[in-house]
Structure 1
Amino acid sequence: MNFEAVLFDCDGVLVDSEAITCGVLRDMFEEQGWRMTLAECMQRFVGHTVKSQREVIEANTGVPLTDAWLQQFFERRNERLERQITAIDGIHDAVAHLHDHCDGRIAVASGADRFKVEMMLRKVGLHEFFDGRIFSGHEMPRSKPHPDVYLAAAAHLQVAPARCLVVEDTTVGIAAGVAAGATVWAYAAPPAAHEPLLQVGAQRVFTSMTALRLGGR
C-alpha cells in the first residue's frame, strides 16, 4: 500500500524511555511496600497509563492512588527523563525519510501526557519534524487501546485512517491502531517477542529502524 501518512507512537518507538519511566515507577512502588524487578514492572505497565492500572496498584500497595502521588511520579519521571532520555537508534534517518516521503504528513499519537512527549522530542532532536502534529491520549475521551488518539491525528492530517501507517511497539498501542482502521507495523527491539505483536494485529514486525522505509520516492 502507498501510505499517505505515518502516525508514530512515542515511547519505545521514537525515544528509549520505557525503562526509565518504569524505573521510577518501580522505585515508588517499593517505597509503598510493593517490590518487583524492573523487568516485571515493564511487563505490567508498558503501554498502559498509570491511572488505568489504579485497581491493581491499590490492591498491591494497600493505599489509594492519589493525585498527589501521581504528581510526585510525574515530577520524578520528568526529572529522570531530562537526564537520561535518548533516541531509538536509527530513528532520525527513518523519520526524515518518512517526513519527505509523505510530504510532511507525519504525526505523533502517544498515550502519554503532552509535556512528557514534547520534552522528550526536544531533548533528542525530533520535535521539529512533528511540531503542531503531536497528539496526547490524555487529551482524548479515551486513551489506548481505544483508537481516539490515532483518529484525531489522522483527521488533523486530513488522511483517512485506512491510508495511514501506524508505528507501534506494544500490544495496547497496536490494538489502538487496528481499531482506528490503520495498518500497523510493530517495532520489536531484540529480544522482544514478535508473536504477541502479530496476534493483536500488527501486519509486520521489524527489529531495526533501518527497515522503516516506504518505496516510491
Structure 2
Amino acid sequence: MRYDLVIFDNDGVLVDSEPISNTILADCLTELGHPTTYEDSIRDYMGSAMHRIHELVLERTGQRLPADFDDAFHARVFAAFERGLEPVPGVTEVLEKLAADEVPYCVASSGSHERIRVGHRKTGLDRWFGDDIVFSAQDVGRGKPAPDLFLYAAERMGVSPERCVVVEDSRLGVEAARAAGMDVYGFTAMTPAGRLPRANGYFTSMGQLAELLM
C-alpha cells in the first residue's frame, strides 16, 4: 500500500445516500419557493455542508432559509434512510481489505455526526467506524471545498497530508483534497469524471479501488 491513510467521504462513497438526500433537498427547497430539481441539487449542492446550502440560497435569492430548515430536512432524510438506505456495493470488501492489510482509514464527511451515525447504523457500517475515526464538517470552521476537514482528519490520525489519499464523489470534495495536498480518487458511479477535475484517477466500482490504492 502506497498510502499511510485512506480518507473516505461518506455520502455516495460509503453509503448510497445521495439519491435519497438530493431528492429530499430538492423537494424542501421547492416547497419553500426556490424551485429546484433533483439534477439541480446534484449539480449545486452535492458534497456541501449545510452552511453552504444556506449561503448559496441567500446569494441567489436574497432570502434566508428558515431557522428550522436543517432540522426539518434531516428529519425527512433520516426517516428515508430508515426505509431504504444501503451501503455502496463493494465497500465492505474494501474495508475488509484495508483492515487485513492494517492500513489506517477514516471518514471525513460534510454531513453532521448524527447523519453519519444514522447511516452507518442502518447499513451495518458502524462496525467499521468507531467514534475516533469519524470526522465531520461540524468539527472545523469551514466545510469542503476548503481543505480544513481533510487536514483535521490527517492531524487527528497522525499522518502527514502527502501520505493520505481521499476517496470522493463530489467536485467540492476533490477540490478540498487537492487543496489539502492529498491525492484523491474520484468515484464516478454518480458523478461523471468531467465533473471531478484534478482527481488523480477515477473508478466506477469499488472493486477497482484497491488497484488504485496500490
Q: Same fold (TM over 0.5)?
A: yes
Looking at structure 1, the residues matched to 213 and 188 of structure 2 have their Cα atoms a distance apart, in angstroms, of 25
Looking at structure 2, the residues matched to 22 and 215 of structure 1 have their Cα atoms a distance apart, in angstroms, of 28
Match of residue 120 from structure 1: 119
**Equivalent residues of 2:27, 2:36 under 8 A apart:** no
Q: Given residue 47 of structure 1, which amino acid in structure 2 is its aligned partner?
A: G
Match of residue 8 from structure 1: 8
Q: Secondary structure at the match of 2:195?
A: helix
Identity %: 32
The aligned length equals 213
TM-score (norm 1): 0.89
Match of residue 160 from structure 1: 160
**Equivalent residues of 1:29, 1:61 under 8 A apart:** no
Runs of 5+ in structure 2 lacking a partner? Answer: none
Moved more, 114-123 or 72-81: 72-81
| Aligned CA-pair RMSD | 2.1
1:16 positional shift:
0.8
Moved more, 173-182 or 52-61: 52-61
Q: Secondary structure at the match of 2:128?
A: helix
1:37 positional shift:
2.3
Q: Secondary structure at the match of 1:130?
A: coil
Looking at structure 2, the residues matched to 94 and 207 of structure 1 have their Cα atoms a distance apart, in angstroms, of 14
1:116-165 CA-partner distances (Å, limit 9, x unpaired): 00111121111222212000012212111111111121122211111111
1:51 positional shift:
2.2
TM-score (norm 2): 0.90
Q: Secondary structure at the match of 1:213?
A: helix
1:23 corresponds to 2:39: no
Match of residue 140 from structure 2: 140
Moved more, 54-63 or 13-22: 54-63
Runs of 5+ in structure 1 lacking a partner? Answer: none
- Residues 63-78 of structure 1 aligned to structure 2 (within 5 Å): 63-78=63-78
1:213 pairs, out of 201, 210, 213, with 210
1:37-90 CA-partner distances (Å, limit 9, x unpaired): 212222121111232132442466674213212221121122112222111111
Q: Given residue 195 of structure 2, which amino acid in structure 1 is its aligned partner?
A: P
1:113 positional shift:
0.3
1:88-122 CA-partner distances (Å, limit 9, x unpaired): 11111012112322x25110011110000011112
Q: Secondary structure at the match of 2:108?
A: strand
Looking at structure 1, the residues matched to 39 and 213 of structure 2 have their Cα atoms a distance apart, in angstroms, of 40
**Equivalent residues of 2:109, 2:135 under 8 A apart:** yes
Moved more, 3-12 or 29-38: 29-38
Match of residue 200 from structure 2: 203
